[in-house]
Amino acid sequence: MAATTGNVRATGESVPEIFESMDYGPAPESPDVVRAWLDKHDRSFGHFINGKWVKPEGRKTYQTKCPATGEVLATTIQGEDEDVELAVGAARKAFESWSTLPCHVRARYLYSIARNVQKHQRILTVMESLDNGKPFRESRDADVPLVVRHFYHHAGWAQLMDTEMQGWKPIGVVGAIVPWNFPLMLLTWKVCPALAMGNTVVLKPATYTRMSALMLAEICAEAGLPPGVFNVVTGNGRFGSKLACHPDVDKVGFTGSTEVGQLLRRAVAGTGKKLSLELGGKSPIVVFDSADLDSAVEGVVDAIWFNQGQVCSAGSRLLVQESVFNPFITKLKSRMNHLRVGDSLDKCIDMGALVDESQMKTIKEYVEEARKEGAEVHQVSASFPKHDKGFFYPPTLITNVQTVSRVVREEIFGPVLVALPFRTAKEAIALGNNTNYGLGASVWTESIPLGLEAAVSLKAGAVWVNCHNMFDAAAGFGGYKESGYGRDGGKEGLYEYAKPAWQDRPRPNCGEINYTTFAAKYGATVPPMPGSGTVGDKSLTSDGAIVPGIDRTYKLYYGGGQKRPDGQYSRPVIGQEGRVLALVGEANRKDVRNAVEAAHKAAPGWGKRAAHNRAQIVYYMAENLEIRRQEFTQQLQLMTGRSEEDCRREVDLAVQRLFYWGAYCDKYGGTVQVRFGDV
3-state secondary structure 277-313: EECCCCCEEEECCCCCHHHHHHHHHHHHHHHHHCCCC
What is the model's pLDDT at position 237? 85
Residue 589, CB-side half-sphere exposure with 13 Å CA sphere: 4
What is the model's pLDDT at position 12? 55
- C-alpha dist (Å) from residue 262 to 183, 234, 256, 449, 468: 21, 22, 10, 38, 27
Residues 6+ apart with CB under 8 A from 254: 176, 177, 244, 260, 261, 264, 275, 276, 277, 278
pLDDT value at 21 more than 80 = no
* Secondary-structure breakdown of the chain: helix, strand, coil percentages, each rounded to the nearest 5: 45, 20, 40
What is the model's pLDDT at position 510? 41
Helices 103-119 and 144-164: crossing angle, nearest 10°?
Answer: 170
Residue with more model confidence, 351 or 573: 351
What is the model's pLDDT at position 528? 53
Residues 6+ apart with CB under 8 A from 441: 283, 284, 285, 286, 315, 432, 455, 458, 460, 462, 463, 464
pLDDT value at 11 more than 90 = no
For residue 671, name the pLDDT band (cuts at 50, 70, 90). low
What is the model's pLDDT at position 35? 94
Best CA proximity match to 27, nearest among 1, 47, 49, 45? 1
What is the model's pLDDT at position 532? 38
pLDDT value at 33 more than 90 = yes
> CA 490, CA 461: separation in Å to the nearest integer?
13
pLDDT value at 73 more than 50 = yes
Helices (H), 197-292: 211-222, 237-245, 258-268
* Under 8 Å between Cβ of 351 and 308: yes
Encode pLDDT of 200-256 as tens digits. 999 999 999 999 999 999 999 999 999 999 999 999 988 889 999 999 999 999 999
What is the model's pLDDT at position 256? 94
Encode pLDDT of 252-299 as tens digits. 999 999 999 999 999 898 888 999 999 999 999 999 999 999 999 999
Q: Are strands 462-465 and 230-232 parallel, antiparallel or unpaired?
A: unpaired
Biggest distance spanned by C-alpha atoms of the chain: 118
Q: Is the dihedral of CA 638, 642, 646, 652 positive or negative?
A: negative
Residue 258, CB-side half-sphere exposure with 13 Å CA sphere: 19
- What percent of the chain stands above pLDDT 90? 68
Best CA proximity match to 149, nearest among 195, 110, 202, 206? 110
CB neighbours of residue 678 within 10 Å: 6
Encode pLDDT of 490-525 as tens digits. 999 999 999 998 877 655 444 444 444 444 444 434
- C-alpha dist (Å) from residue 96 to 166, 168, 200: 20, 17, 9
What is the model's pLDDT at position 91? 98
What is the model's pLDDT at position 585? 85
- C-alpha dist (Å) from residue 236 to 43, 79, 185, 347, 514: 19, 8, 20, 32, 30
* Under 8 Å between Cβ of 127 and 139: no
What is the model's pLDDT at position 513? 45
CB neighbours of residue 552 within 10 Å: 7
Encode pLDDT of 417-426 as tens digits. 999 999 999 9
What is the model's pLDDT at position 322? 97
Best CA proximity match to 473, nearest among 80, 153, 61? 153
CB neighbours of residue 42 within 10 Å: 9
> CA 211, CA 213: separation in Å to the nearest integer?
5
What is the model's pLDDT at position 553? 72
What is the model's pLDDT at position 655? 87
The predicted model scores a pTM of: 0.77
Best CA proximity match to 647, nearest among 658, 656, 636? 636
For residue 547, name the pLDDT band (cuts at 50, 70, 90). low
What is the model's pLDDT at position 2? 36
> CA 401, CA 406: separation in Å to the nearest integer?
10
For residue 542, name the pLDDT band (cuts at 50, 70, 90). low
- C-alpha dist (Å) from residue 306 to 181, 209, 329, 414, 591: 11, 18, 19, 10, 45
> CA 203, CA 176: separation in Å to the nearest integer?
5
End-to-end, the C-alpha distance of the chain in Å comes to 34
* Mean pLDDT of all residues in 159-175: 93
Q: Is the dihedral of CA 309, 315, 316, 322 positive or negative?
A: negative
Encode pLDDT of 86-105 as tens digits. 999 999 999 999 999 999 99
Encode pLDDT of 337-355 as tens digits. 999 999 999 998 999 999 9
What is the model's pLDDT at position 676? 42
For residue 15, name the pLDDT band (cuts at 50, 70, 90). low
Q: Are strands 200-204 and 173-177 parallel, antiparallel or unpaired?
A: parallel
Complete DSSP assignment for 22-42: -PPPP-BPP-HHHHHHHHHTT
Helices (H), 484-565: 490-494
CB neighbours of residue 563 within 10 Å: 16
What is the model's pLDDT at position 672? 55
What is the model's pLDDT at position 13? 60
Residue 113, CB-side half-sphere exposure with 13 Å CA sphere: 31
Average pLDDT, rounded, for the chain: 87
What is the model's pLDDT at position 244? 93
> CA 428, CA 460: separation in Å to the nearest integer?
14
3-state secondary structure 556-617: EEECCEEECCCCCCEEEEECCCCCEEEEEECCCHHHHHHHHHHHHHHHHHHHHCCHHHHHHH
- C-alpha dist (Å) from residue 137 to 29, 143, 403, 642: 10, 10, 35, 63
* Under 8 Å between Cβ of 440 and 461: yes
Residues 6+ apart with CB under 8 A from 178: 186, 187, 190, 203, 204, 205, 206, 213, 255, 256
Q: Tell me which residues are annotated as active site.
A: 278
CB neighbours of residue 661 within 10 Å: 16
For residue 388, name the pLDDT band (cuts at 50, 70, 90). low
Encode pLDDT of 300-333 as tens digits. 999 999 999 999 999 999 999 999 999 999 999 9
- What percent of the chain stands above pLDDT 70? 87
